[in-house]
Structure 1
Amino acid sequence: MEKLGLVLQTGYTASKVAWLREHQPEAYRRIESLLLPHDYLNFWLTGERVTEAGDASGTGYFDTRKRCWQLDVFAQIAPELDPARVLPRVLAAHEPVGVVCPAVARELGLGDHVVVSSGGGDNMLGAIGTGNITPGLITLSLGTSGTVCAYSATAVECDSAMVANFCSSTGGWLPLICTMNVTSATTRVRELFGLDLAAFGERVASAPIGAEGITVLPFFNGERVPMLPDASADFLGLTSLNTTQANLCRAVVEGATFGLRYGLELLGDLTAGASQIRLIGGGANSPVWRQMVADITGTQVICPEITDAAALGAAIQAAWCDQRSEGVTLEALCEKLVHLDAQSLADPHPERVAAYQPIYRRYCAELEQRHGGA
């Protein structure tokens, strides 16, 4: 934390480099460059070995506060490698990587002098694609796994190791948390009952808030937030009266959403006063789930019209790179290109917000009892 501004996690690049050094020493010694996937794509397009701070934040040897490689940490992970040779140059978010090489341009049917922007990671570009580039908004993804992130103009000192204090791909910071079990958990229960999405949604809607006392800790795949890699799922509070298909369907959706609220609270003041949640991911297509997110978090929820937010964010960032010299700002581009779907709007309902408070406390109590609060 002291050197990187975040806690090194096992999924970061540093762990993979260390594994290669230990298990494939011959391949390790042949390393020419350490490029992330989108850095390699930019290298293939332009011949330039560069990266940007957003994606580099997840390497485990990048100082997220100073936006530079942390050479002391890198030396511990890869002592035989020369960082000046193998680490790419770090670009500012608005800087171009270069232009597409002539041979690649011909292969792709592109014209001469096509500029390539820096790009970024999926979460960073998803934030741009939802307009989350200034304080006060939250981007929340209901995908196979879940992500919650919020923009900060300054580096954030987080109390929890579960918060990844990443840089954004806009020149700011994008602290985020990731949970492992969202639609992966709800799909497991839905398929167990042989329901299609419409029928599953009907079951969830027909059950009452709190599923008549059933609590689900949906950790089918272990969990990252809370930090429970070896956890398994629990269905708690089952009785002969409340064990219905509808209650089980609702309880697993509530459990996945409570996990995201748990992560949201770890972000502290950064999200405490947020005015709106921009919802993306497959689960965002469900009106019942959108309303549940609004009621559990007490925050207005809305979806962007273009739900593939990362792809839109990449296009907006590229336009910013191309037009910045003409005075075009990222804010102006987001205002022009990020449109919200008014029909998806879900405002928190005061009675349901109040009803969810003791049910969320029940979830946290079960979490504490079984896993020590992680």
Structure 2
Amino acid sequence: MIQVVCGVDTSTQSCKVEFFTLEDGRRIAGAAAAHPPVAPPRSEQNPHAWWDAFVSAFRGALAQAGDVSVRAISVAGQCHGMVPLDATGEVIRDAKLWNDTTTDAELRSLTERIGAEQLIATTGSLPTAAFTLSKVAWFARNEPEQFARLATIVLPHDYLTYRLTGVFATDRSEASGTGYFNPATNAYLLDHLALIDDTKNWAAMLPEVLAPDGVAGMTTAGAMAQLGIAEPALVSAGGGDQHASALGLGIAEGDAVFAFGTSGVVFSTTPEPVRDPSGLVNGVANLTGGFLPLVCTLNGAKVIDTFARLMGTDHDELSALALQAGHDGPVLAAFLDGERTPNRPLAAGLLADLTTETTREQLARAAYEGVVFGLVAGREHFERCGVATDGEVIAIGGAARSTATRQILADALGKPVHLVDAPEAVARGAAVQAAAVLGGASIMELAEAWKPERRLAAEPRGNSAERFARYAEVAAVDTLDRSRE
């Protein structure tokens, strides 16, 4: 019987479960199950659907794996979402997700009362409507009767950990995206929640924040029966999705990872806290005791999906068209569903410089550039904060499979772009954590030992400085004032 660990990625769109051998980190099985589709501005899911998808995906992976013993499980997943539970641990209402922008008014009110500088100093980030804090305030204001039943607040990955163990626990990476946790001191900021309701015992309503090598508990008999396993498995702390992918990719200080999924994300890793006075960079915690400077845009692969639909083509043809475009043509401020960075929840997309000479190729290129350029601007914010960006560039996520995405990214950065042999980096990173905690090993050392192979995917073919500058003008985003080669 092969001993394995299980890494879980409970994302906005689906739940993915992967099994890796405990001996050498070899992937032996994996399966996925869909979550209910959502779309901003009101983006909500029933947490019970997450559990059902997890059980389905786990059983699917188990059937593939054959004769295995699941020794440990780690759950990583979408950040920020508010899961409100009553005194019995039951879900009170559907969870508001990270891309629900209906809580912007509450966020702005809290930011005014706390102060933007104070928020950045204490949480490491300037929260947007994505952060849990705004969703708790929305709940209190809009559904007071339901809010009165609130006994515990957990995050999406915490909920699956709770269903596995019966324990309310989270980790530094997830807690640092709430707006009421300080990742530098590892302490909750209860005064932020007291501004919403000063009568509640908030300290008793929040999950314990586990260390990177923390253990939430062991799987309960009920969970084991649903999963189809006979022996209890250790459940480690888990973490946020991008934080787990950093672990699964084995990134080092100076590397920059561009994630092209439902959202767009660029992140790196650093041992020291990051504080961005502009509030554009989130200085959240990572899964190894350090920090994960991160910029997240709301509009990722769905922008490319939308243009493919509007142009009556598939993704392969859209990519080919984009690569055939010259240097002229329109640029896209890709704020199709509002935007998180910059913080414009009520914005819409803007296609500029459209003329009668515009070609299909140019429109296709604008779609990819709108997504890529938003993240390139985010990487420049890293440099403002002193974060090293002299390492390798790695592209991950569904849209990274597109040749156009990788090439346009290489052109924009003037650097080679690499892919990794880890299609499900989030689940892989969760598995690294589970294996390290189970064996009492260093998480960082095991991540290096299990580090997937990187391969060159695109070399810069030219200079897109003028197009990026025009994008920055149209999108009204700040970029570094420097010459580009």
TM over 0.5: yes
Give the deviation of 1:271 after TM superposition: 4.7
Structure 2 CA distance for aligned equivalents of residues 138 and 107 of structure 1: 39
Give the deviation of 1:341 after TM superposition: 4.5
Q: Does 1:308 align with 2:424?
A: yes
- 1:86 corresponds, among 205, 216, 232, to 205
Structure 2 CA distance for aligned equivalents of residues 106 and 232 of structure 1: 47
Unaligned 5+ segments in structure 2 are: 1-118, 480-485
Give the deviation of 1:306 after TM superposition: 1.6
Partner of 2:458: 346
Structure 1 contact 265–271 (Cα < 8 Å) conserved = no
TM-score under structure 1 length normalisation: 0.90
Q: Which moved more, 1:250-259 or 1:313-322?
A: 250-259
Structure 1 contact 94–321 (Cα < 8 Å) conserved = yes
Q: Which moved more, 1:265-274 or 1:232-241?
A: 265-274
TM-score under structure 2 length normalisation: 0.70
Structure 1 contact 320–330 (Cα < 8 Å) conserved = yes
Q: Does 1:280 align with 2:396?
A: yes
Partner of 1:114: 233
- 2:468 corresponds, among 356, 360, 370, to 360
The one-letter code matched in structure 1 to 2:307 is V
Partner of 2:330: 214
Give the deviation of 1:270 after TM superposition: 4.9
Structure 2 CA distance for aligned equivalents of residues 23 and 196 of structure 1: 41
Q: Which moved more, 1:153-162 or 1:108-117?
A: 108-117
Give the deviation of 1:155 after TM superposition: 0.8
Structure 2 CA distance for aligned equivalents of residues 23 and 254 of structure 1: 38
The one-letter code matched in structure 1 to 2:364 is C
Deviations 1:141-192 (A, max 9, x none): 1123200111110111112212211111221111211112232222212111
Partner of 1:178: 296
Q: Does 1:60 align with 2:179?
A: yes
- 1:16 corresponds, among 111, 127, 135, to 135
Structure 1 contact 304–338 (Cα < 8 Å) conserved = no
Q: Does 1:129 align with 2:248?
A: yes
Structure 1 contact 168–174 (Cα < 8 Å) conserved = yes
Partner of 1:251: 366
Partner of 2:163: 44
Structure 2 CA distance for aligned equivalents of residues 143 and 84 of structure 1: 34
Structure having the higher helix fraction is 1
SS at match of 2:152: coil
Give the deviation of 1:117 after TM superposition: 0.6
Structure 1 CA distance for aligned equivalents of residues 471 and 412 of structure 2: 12
Give the deviation of 1:372 after TM superposition: 9.1
Structure 1 contact 145–181 (Cα < 8 Å) conserved = yes
SS at match of 1:322: helix
Q: Aligned in 2, Cα 1:156/1:15: closer, same or farther, shift over 3 Å?
A: same
Q: Percent identity?
A: 33
Query: For the aligned residues, what is the CA RMSD?
Result: 2.0
The one-letter code matched in structure 1 to 2:457 is L
The one-letter code matched in structure 2 to 1:250 is R
The one-letter code matched in structure 1 to 2:369 is E
The one-letter code matched in structure 2 to 1:334 is A
Give the deviation of 1:287 after TM superposition: 2.2
Structure 2 CA distance for aligned equivalents of residues 225 and 195 of structure 1: 29
Unaligned 5+ segments in structure 1 are: none
